[in-house]
Structure 1
């Protein structure tokens, strides 16, 4: 039994080498992080890295530009942190990792804000000079760029913040215009009048990337189109019934189509309830599969109607239809012509009536049907104005609005439905909730509207000498997707491939003021199909580019600019200047040209190593960049595309201010610090949607504390370490060589993880290593030697050598994820006015540290230790012992290889007991066992001897040496010091 410390035993606490470190236990990140930011700026970290990295292989992550409008949200923090981890890690893996942040500056959101400001002041935007208006937009963007720049820097994002790229810089505007004019010159630019997604609220066309889908309640109606020649074809007086969810399109109807392969019948009403719009004797043509459902909507039960005849495809092809408003009072003949009636491939018998009403000005499938039939001139209407109202002179409906200026339902649908009722052509009506396109900026519903727009033809044969990957924009884009780009995750490939494969031509024009204009001229009096409609002359293009370089895109709006650039080439009076502006996706899609290609810190070949954004950018920036580069340089502008999901609250719900579940980066930083937010990013699987909230952040902070404690121990145990203490690996005990083996394995895993953008894998691997391999095993075992061995002890020197190697690797490996904390840890050990952990690379780890036979042996040791530790924990729980050093267990081991492994190492020290016996005798019944570790049994015994008052081991020789109350090892150390 252990003897108690006698009253006259000296106090040996000052002779124990306890850890010493200035690194505080509490990080204090919110208060201290700004100091490191200021320090990094003062010593010029980013520019010093560029200077030091000359000659290295460049690594370029090209920044997808955020919009210069509003404070950062949690999605911004996620996005920029992932980018920063990629840049920092590749820099520390030996590359020249450059990062130029950028901003998207043109476009509707900023223009909208200025218009709101004008409206509040009672000012008419259209009365303001366009250049003055554009300059106000520029000032607005400038203000938000400065705000967002500081918010991004506060997250610890490294980059060329003093020289970002802006799409509104003069050079950028010149390049955007130049790349647009490449489309002009290669023949892919054309003007067409076709239905496009149109925002009546914003009064402009939108690209698919600017559209989001939300549920919407819509009016739905079943409308009767009279068959004019029913008697002639044996149907009698009959109506074809159509179904639509857009009643406002009925005034623009030009035809009805049917499915050539479906079964149709003639249905006669033989009885009606009072509330039905149908009358006895009415006859309706319907697809047989859908007839019952239509009649039910018309409040007709099966006994109230009968099927009286088949309607063959031959009969259908001979029908002539009238518009429901034909002959309507006040219609002024607008709808009196017969409607076209034909088969179409897009008709289905899954919903509706089996007949589809066609308003080719408001539907792409109908447009393409009549385009292919050569009938567009007969069927295109211009009934809907840019604000979503009917043209003023449209009979009955002039001035009625599809949508109000605030995006709410207008009076057009009601007016059309009321008119149908008045002429007896409405069979039924109802409401339907369905997914409907909305503007992602104004959040208002959109309409399809035929309007003249400028398009890039993505299937046009470019014949531009850049056909290595195809001769059309689409073929080059698809080849790039499959052969030139790696997608992370791979599902991104399928998503963008299907989008590009089926996408229509790119709508390039917007009817707005703040943007890069479509720098082209059209010949007065010429039609878009005429070969001389567009002026194509490189001399004109060069003059425009030079003017934009000098004065920006505003010069396009100066009086006399047309004459200035056309003079001497053509007669300026013969041409009109196009005043639409480019889709902002063309701006951001062009960034590869004025950033990667043109900047000194761009990519040598103009191609980025990585583009990284959210999953919505498969239809946004990833795609616009792909299409633009395919058109202007023949291939994708990137080699890797990394995609992250969206950020949700803790319950998996989308964040919204109305729900009060938003997490603001500024608030997280104020409470926890940016490193905690960055650690949350590293711990999530960003390829899927991520959750964040108070409880999740508490868990993240706990992980951070555990990691910080590991680093504090490292620092403390290395206090005073010098190169003179270092031990070569070959001279080290096996435990240290096992740690070096683990480091060699980790080095490979960490580098592979960073290379494949798997930060969750990197962090989890390192966190497990720190908490399991180090804190619970290695540190636990070696505390005795570190605290109690003499300075010259081989074991202690070996341990401190390994701790030094651990320090350099862990701190640099974790620096991309936790840049503030690792700077703190680094400077705590290596204080310097101008050094930084971020100026160092990951250390090279010798391959000879790998020792698989040793690792297999130590797997035996670790497994056996786990059984011993569990057995002692039982005795600690029942108060038999207070500490493991009071034990001297007998360990029974059946496996010969395991027993040999345990006998070849100081297994008592490894189990942190004062003594231990190993035997291959069968374990007695009372032995402690673990079900998952058969063949190992532990019999508890108390250690024999007295407690060393310095190291606390219980040994027989305590009290027999020069220094009272200590063991032989401690006596020797005391003699030496």
Structure 2
């Protein structure tokens, strides 16, 4: 008799959805399909009239290919936008670019240097045109690279700070500060790059180790303080890490609360610059450290005095009276009380160069001391600096020390109080550098334009900004402290830069009075011209065009400083959001999302600009993401060879892998990336894809007539729906809170553990072998339909291409998962008690599967379907688990439950439970024959004459 082949009667999964994604080839095809079907326009139409959600894009800089920091930030924004759209919000994301400023100007100058061209000989309008063309080139490249990452945006309405309308709006924002009186020009020290010849913002500074020359210098006290203190022949000793600031010294600061000592030098080492008999004033707490540094081997303290006793004392500059300096250092050097002076290092006396430090400037100005300008824009001493003219400050240590050594020798020869160099050393410390040129910067006092942070009545921009932050949500919450502390401690905002590529601070200053012209009509003419011709109009037009009739241009200085690029990007809300933005986007934005460095950058400049011009914050919430590091936790660097460009990942693995990497990480912290990490993401992706593929295969031919209502479903299906409701609540919570950390790892765990390793495994028998009319099979297929729809939608914000393929594989190419809403899950799917019961049930099952696996390893059975199970339960366990279909749940051919009345429960703490030992599950060989269709081993196989190789169920199905 020929054995019947029953393979065609088994309902095996069928789907055209491939096992391998082949993402590098497939993703560009999907992008082209979206363009053909006009998906962006359809998305806008689908949410028309819905509550808007606006994430305002912080503009990346249009200068080079994208790096993984860009990818991290833009993908996270895209996930949030897509999730809000699928939650029923009207989302219109307008991407933007920062196009002005020094990095682009620097690149153009590099080309000039290569061609041996003089930048100063190039007409400014030509130079600006070259900068504009360079920025446009990279803007276009970056836009295409963002699209390749799957970022959905209103690309046609993108903004750029160099657009004519943007430049006009930025000028108008400057005008707001001009008119409200907070914009002023003043001389004060700012961070200055001698290489780039411009002031820098704090956000443009990075800190690196730097070796500085340190010097200890004696200033002879020429007038005793009042009340009188016996300081005849005594020299005050200062310590500094910036010897180049000595020509700019105008005072010495002491701490009023510090105790000072006058020590007499007794003996010195052979290499010491100090001399026996010298009397030196230093903080008592620092005597030993100072003497060690200065090579003073023996000394004794003559007396001590409180810091406040130094008030009124006058010192001489150590270079006073030296003929070679032609009297250039003959000014007095007063001793001034400074609450910033400490005894943590140095001598407890701080030399004040008001042109080169914030504390120096504030204390000197408060005491009526003039601020000398000793250093020019290129870092060289000005021609009028005696003895040092033309020397670069970073090469000044040797000539300054030589001059001070000569002064010390002269004072010793004359038998006078010590004046000059007492000691010299080096110090490796963290020092500010320009993040563009990587060169060290200096503090330099120059006339700059500032926005005033405080006003006389205590309600200035700072106070209002801090109040505005009270109503802002921060993710993570601890980021609030960082931003508020930065705003609370920052100085006035220096917004001027001495460069050419940017929006000019388009104001006039009256030469006679030095007052800035505050005329709204003048500013209106500037804005109108910029809107029509761009900011080039400021350079191409006669001043009379803006001044109007009745004013002589010769009476006014036209300002050509450009505005800080942080002011520009901080102004973007003015030309993107609100009625002025012309895009129909509300202001304030619901969300700003950038890297953690933007607390001192864009977050802060946007806050201060908006509060200063409108009195409100431009955002309702701030989300911060971390930085991208390599697999060893190192910063990405070309020199280390650890840079992985997003384009390379897209070309080799696919954008969905990069997107999954972002959302599987804790984006609040720094993220690591590298070949091994991306390989791991590939494995996670494969599991998710296999879940979708299995669902599609198992749903082959699914029809609405199969659907089973919740009340008729088996308990296992109701548990799956409960788990779906939990995940739905987690995703809804993330949409509301903007906190997505852990959401997609939880979704992956659900697919891998709850579905693939459990539910799918248990239900394969029913799906493959039950009759199509079987309630169990129909209930399972109903749940699989819910799973497919929910998982495709929930994965769509992240796996934008894969979710689309998994959706269209079932619903056709004219559909798109991105036009769907997140599923509205019925409230009655949630059943916490059922969820807790299945936690316990699966714990019992793990014991069972462990026993089966042990039997398989021992060779007792080859598979679980050859096994017979005896499960012994306590009375409490039996009450809860005894009625479970254990042969189905354990995937065995036969399962028997035995009750041991005296056994303690392993899974229940119910009172009155027995105290005896709990027997483990036992596994044997199932009696009977193997069904040729379902492979279960049953004694009933062979009892149906027409189908002797089948069990009763399978015989009924095929019959």
TM-score (norm 1): 0.93
Evaluate the alpha carbon distance shift between residue 603 and residue 646 of structure 1 in structure 2; reply closer, same or farther with a 3 A threshold: farther
- For residue 476 of structure 1, what is the aligned residue in structure 2? 464
Q: Could you tell me how far apart the structure 1 residues matched to 2:517 and 2:859 are? A: 95
What whole-Å deviation, never above 9, does each CA across 1:49-81 have from its counterpart, x for those lacking one?
A: 111111100001111000000111111111111
- For residue 379 of structure 1, what is the aligned residue in structure 2? 370
Partner SS for 2:239: strand
Q: Could you tell me how far apart the structure 2 residues matched to 1:830 and 1:494 are? A: 49
- For residue 72 of structure 2, what is the aligned residue in structure 1? 78
* In the alignment, structure 1 residue 411 sits paired with structure 2 residue 395: yes
Q: Could you tell me how far apart the structure 1 residues matched to 2:749 and 2:727 are? A: 11
Q: Could you tell me how far apart the structure 1 residues matched to 2:308 and 2:504 are? A: 52
- For residue 405 of structure 2, what is the aligned residue in structure 1? 421
Q: Could you tell me how far apart the structure 1 residues matched to 2:552 and 2:113 are? A: 41
Q: Could you tell me how far apart the structure 2 residues matched to 1:669 and 1:433 are? A: 42
Evaluate the alpha carbon distance shift between residue 146 and residue 8 of structure 1 in structure 2; reply closer, same or farther with a 3 A threshold: same
Q: Is the 8 A contact 1:243 1:355 kept in 2?
A: yes
Q: Is the 8 A contact 1:929 1:936 kept in 2?
A: no
Q: Is the 8 A contact 1:540 1:569 kept in 2?
A: no
Q: Could you tell me how far apart the structure 2 residues matched to 1:711 and 1:647 are? A: 30
Q: 2:820 aligns with which of 840, 854, 858?
A: 840
Partner SS for 1:796: helix
Structure 1 residue runs of 5 or longer lacking an equivalent are 1-6, 403-409, 463-469, 528-532
* In the alignment, structure 1 residue 905 sits paired with structure 2 residue 879: no
What whole-Å deviation, never above 9, does each CA across 1:77-107 have from its counterpart, x for those lacking one?
A: 1111111111111111111111111000000
Partner SS for 1:579: coil
- For residue 839 of structure 2, what is the aligned residue in structure 1? 859
Q: Could you tell me how far apart the structure 1 residues matched to 2:423 and 2:832 are? A: 78
- For residue 492 of structure 2, what is the aligned residue in structure 1? 505
Q: Could you tell me how far apart the structure 2 residues matched to 1:382 and 1:113 are? A: 30
- For residue 654 of structure 1, what is the aligned residue in structure 2? 635
Q: Is the 8 A contact 2:213 2:241 kept in 1?
A: yes
Q: 2:49 aligns with which of 50, 55, 69?
A: 55
Evaluate the alpha carbon distance shift between residue 559 and residue 929 of structure 1 in structure 2; reply closer, same or farther with a 3 A threshold: closer
1:923 Cα deviation from its structure 2 partner: 9.2
What whole-Å deviation, never above 9, does each CA across 1:734-789 have from its counterpart, x for those lacking one?
A: 21112112112221112112332333321121111111111111111110010001
Q: 1:555 aligns with which of 537, 541, 545?
A: 537
Q: 2:952 aligns with which of 956, 960, 968?
A: 968
Q: Is the 8 A contact 1:266 1:284 kept in 2?
A: yes
Q: 1:950 aligns with which of 914, 920, 933?
A: 933
1:861 Cα deviation from its structure 2 partner: 2.8
* In the alignment, structure 1 residue 526 sits paired with structure 2 residue 487: no
What whole-Å deviation, never above 9, does each CA across 1:597-635 have from its counterpart, x for those lacking one?
A: 247775654111110011100000000000000011111
- For residue 829 of structure 2, what is the aligned residue in structure 1? 849
- For residue 912 of structure 2, what is the aligned residue in structure 1? none
- Stretch deviating more after TM superposition (494-503 or 747-756): 747-756
Partner SS for 2:246: helix
Q: Is the 8 A contact 2:475 2:739 kept in 1?
A: no
Q: 2:522 aligns with which of 540, 562, 566?
A: 540
Aligned pairs, number: 939
1:580 Cα deviation from its structure 2 partner: 0.5
What whole-Å deviation, never above 9, does each CA across 1:137-195 have from its counterpart, x for those lacking one?
A: 10000000011111111111110122210001111111110011000000001111001
Evaluate the alpha carbon distance shift between residue 357 and residue 943 of structure 1 in structure 2; reply closer, same or farther with a 3 A threshold: same
1:314 Cα deviation from its structure 2 partner: 6.6
Evaluate the alpha carbon distance shift between residue 608 and residue 924 of structure 1 in structure 2; reply closer, same or farther with a 3 A threshold: closer
Q: Is the 8 A contact 1:390 1:401 kept in 2?
A: yes
1:346-745 → structure 2 map (5 Å cutoff): 346-373=340-367, 375=368, 378-402=369-393, 410-424=394-408, 425-460=420-455, 471-482=459-470, 484-527=471-514, 533-560=515-542, 562-568=543-549, 570-598=551-579, 602=583, 604-745=585-726
Evaluate the alpha carbon distance shift between residue 230 and residue 756 of structure 1 in structure 2; reply closer, same or farther with a 3 A threshold: closer
Q: Could you tell me how far apart the structure 2 residues matched to 1:193 and 1:351 are? A: 30
Q: Could you tell me how far apart the structure 1 residues matched to 2:306 and 2:594 are? A: 54
1:905 Cα deviation from its structure 2 partner: 3.3
Partner SS for 2:215: strand
- Stretch deviating more after TM superposition (797-806 or 864-873): 864-873
Q: Is the 8 A contact 1:727 1:797 kept in 2?
A: yes
What whole-Å deviation, never above 9, does each CA across 1:383-410 have from its counterpart, x for those lacking one?
A: 10000000123221000002xxxxxxx3
Q: Is the 8 A contact 1:105 1:141 kept in 2?
A: yes
Q: Could you tell me how far apart the structure 1 residues matched to 2:896 and 2:503 are? A: 83
- For residue 4 of structure 1, what is the aligned residue in structure 2? none
What whole-Å deviation, never above 9, does each CA across 1:621-658 have from its counterpart, x for those lacking one?
A: 00000000001111110011000111111111112111
Q: Could you tell me how far apart the structure 2 residues matched to 1:471 and 1:924 are? A: 74
Q: 1:144 aligns with which of 127, 130, 138?
A: 138
Q: Is the 8 A contact 1:895 1:935 kept in 2?
A: no
Q: Is the 8 A contact 1:894 1:922 kept in 2?
A: yes
1:330-349 → structure 2 map (5 Å cutoff): 330-349=324-343
Evaluate the alpha carbon distance shift between residue 230 and residue 486 of structure 1 in structure 2; reply closer, same or farther with a 3 A threshold: closer
- Stretch deviating more after TM superposition (914-923 or 439-448): 914-923
1:922 Cα deviation from its structure 2 partner: 5.8
- For residue 411 of structure 2, what is the aligned residue in structure 1? none
1:875 Cα deviation from its structure 2 partner: 0.3
- Stretch deviating more after TM superposition (327-336 or 381-390): 327-336
- Stretch deviating more after TM superposition (445-454 or 433-442): 433-442
- For residue 235 of structure 2, what is the aligned residue in structure 1? 239
* In the alignment, structure 1 residue 264 sits paired with structure 2 residue 264: no
1:586 Cα deviation from its structure 2 partner: 0.6
- For residue 191 of structure 1, what is the aligned residue in structure 2? 185
* In the alignment, structure 1 residue 763 sits paired with structure 2 residue 744: yes
Q: Is the 8 A contact 1:948 1:958 kept in 2?
A: yes
1:901 Cα deviation from its structure 2 partner: 3.5
Q: Is the 8 A contact 1:522 1:575 kept in 2?
A: yes
1:928 Cα deviation from its structure 2 partner: 12
- For residue 405 of structure 1, what is the aligned residue in structure 2? none
Structure 2 residue runs of 5 or longer lacking an equivalent are 409-419, 910-915
Q: Is the 8 A contact 2:906 2:918 kept in 1?
A: no
Evaluate the alpha carbon distance shift between residue 599 and residue 150 of structure 1 in structure 2; reply closer, same or farther with a 3 A threshold: farther
- For residue 282 of structure 1, what is the aligned residue in structure 2? 278
What whole-Å deviation, never above 9, does each CA across 1:123-147 have from its counterpart, x for those lacking one?
A: 2212221111111110000000011
Q: Is the 8 A contact 2:312 2:336 kept in 1?
A: no
Partner SS for 2:187: strand
1:874-913 → structure 2 map (5 Å cutoff): 874-896=854-876, 898-913=877-892
Partner SS for 2:641: coil
Q: Could you tell me how far apart the structure 1 residues matched to 2:575 and 2:341 are? A: 46
Q: Could you tell me how far apart the structure 1 residues matched to 2:306 and 2:153 are? A: 70
- For residue 212 of structure 1, what is the aligned residue in structure 2? 206
1:418 Cα deviation from its structure 2 partner: 1.3
TM-score (norm 2): 0.95
Q: Could you tell me how far apart the structure 2 residues matched to 1:313 and 1:701 are? A: 67
Q: Is the 8 A contact 2:666 2:741 kept in 1?
A: yes
Evaluate the alpha carbon distance shift between residue 873 and residue 707 of structure 1 in structure 2; reply closer, same or farther with a 3 A threshold: same
Partner SS for 1:760: coil
- For residue 415 of structure 2, what is the aligned residue in structure 1? none
Q: Is the 8 A contact 1:923 1:938 kept in 2?
A: no
Partner SS for 1:642: strand
What whole-Å deviation, never above 9, does each CA across 1:230-282 have from its counterpart, x for those lacking one?
A: 79954442211100000000001011121112111111112222211111211
